[in-house]
Amino acid sequence: MNMEYILYLVLGAAAGGFINGLAGTGTALFALGFYLVALEPVTAVAIVAAMAVLAGIQGLWEVRSDILIQRARVLRFVVPGLCGVPVGLLLLGLVETSVLRLIVAALLIIYGGYFAFRANLPTLTQPKAWVEPTVGLAGGVLGGMAGLSGALPTLWLSLRPWPKAQIRAVLQSFNMVILITTVVLLLFRGAYDAAALKALLITVPTGLIAAQIGLMVFRRLSTDGFRRLLVVMSLLMGLGLLLSEVL
């Protein structure tokens, strides 16, 4: 274990932990690039998923009262999302994953690029009752097929004029359920071997501290500021997907 290896793990944990604490999503977007330099791809994904779950516990605690108050709303996303993961895994061999990722990237870039720098954010006040379960289901399916579970929920929730804690309660709960499912599946695949456990010893403390810093910033954001953050993250997720496919 050399200093360069440790540096990449610490940088990835700091970036991923901070954005997890700030937004409740986006850990892989900010951390995976660092981890892939130092680790094998499966190990890197396993570390990101585990760190996102551990850091996400702090975010869940931050909005615990909103989760309880809005539990029906949370379940409208989480239950269909959980059902969608095995569907996505079944479809994995039937759909060209790279094409799907490019389509999602284009959607995120168009939406995020158009609204990120506009004075007024888009707002949907009274969508149809079936839309939110559909977004949750689609997020779960995309998670199983292409590791994109957070893309559509992030985009959709940035449109909702809810208080920031309610938005985060839904988004973080959804992400935690999907990520815990991912961790369990990777555990059965044997992804958490000695190399992964060694990397976790380095990344988890850094990620937890960074998540606390992100939470401090989250507390200072207004609701509009948090919604705009999600719009910008939609743009960044789209650009990250596009670059990963092109390169």
At 85, the pLDDT band (50, 70, 90 cuts) reads: confident
pTM score of the predicted model: 0.88
Average pLDDT value for the chain: 89
Orientation of helix 3-23 relative to helix 223-246, angle to 10°: 140
Unique residue bearing structure tokens 């289901």? 137
Q: What is the CA radius of gyration of the chain?
A: 17
Average pLDDT in the 178-205 region?
A: 89
pLDDT value, residue 143: 83
Report pLDDT digits (tens) over 8-49. 999 999 999 999 999 988 888 888 888 888 888 888 888 988
Scored b (16 or more CB within 10 A) or e, 16-26 reads: bbbbbbbbbbb
pLDDT value, residue 78: 94
Scored b (16 or more CB within 10 A) or e, 57-80 reads: ebbbebbeebbeebeebbebbbeb
Report pLDDT digits (tens) over 100-123. 888 888 989 999 988 888 878 888
Residue partners of 202: CB distance under 8 A and separation at least 6? 6, 9, 10, 13
In this prediction, what percent of the chain has a pLDDT beyond 70?
98
Scored b (16 or more CB within 10 A) or e, 85-102 reads: beebeeeeeeeeeeebbb
* Domain map (residue ranges) of the chain: 3-246
